[in-house]
Structure 1
């Protein structure tokens, strides 16, 4: 039996995180960097919670499932890109705060990382829908 509530709950949470990212980007463009940083921290925290408590158990549950090579490749690209996004967000945050030395300007990485995060979110939603096409 498929847990429809969990699937739609996760997709709903991902949409909320996407809205947080969009509002955070707006705050950055408005030069309200403290609000931007707080929103990004909240988005990162929520994303990490969903990875640990929703996505990882779901991935392990589907590890024995017969899925297409295309979907399996999409899953791995999603996981690797997602890990990269989380590490880059943490690294940029630490660089902006001055906790780590950054080669170059950390602000130049923000837009590409935001775009990658957006693509990973969309890819994850596509994976969820692909795993349960009858919902």
Structure 2
């Protein structure tokens, strides 16, 4: 019996380790953006260049609003991405999702902290046009 449980446990661990998911949560970016939020004065807007915060390859970055459903999220991105943050039920964060070659490579959960984030009139950011606006 113990031998069988060991085989089952080993099999489960092996399956968990074989995850094809290559996207990762970028907590360093989260900290940098959250620090930027604190510096924004009340009743003002500031612009930030996202590329100055990251050190990985990306060709598009999407800002996902609170309460975005999984279906709408994938429609916005144009690629499959299982949201680990459950943003569809949350109003305390935005997601900033980075795509490279039609694949999600990294994402960040950005705390709202009484702020509004926007990309201006853009659908998504690109390395050559990477300004995100923070309004308090």
TM-score after normalising by structure 1? 0.30
Q: Which has the higher strand share?
A: 2
Q: Which has the higher helix share?
A: 1
TM-score after normalising by structure 2? 0.29
Structure with bigger RCO (C-alpha 8 Å, 6+ apart): 2
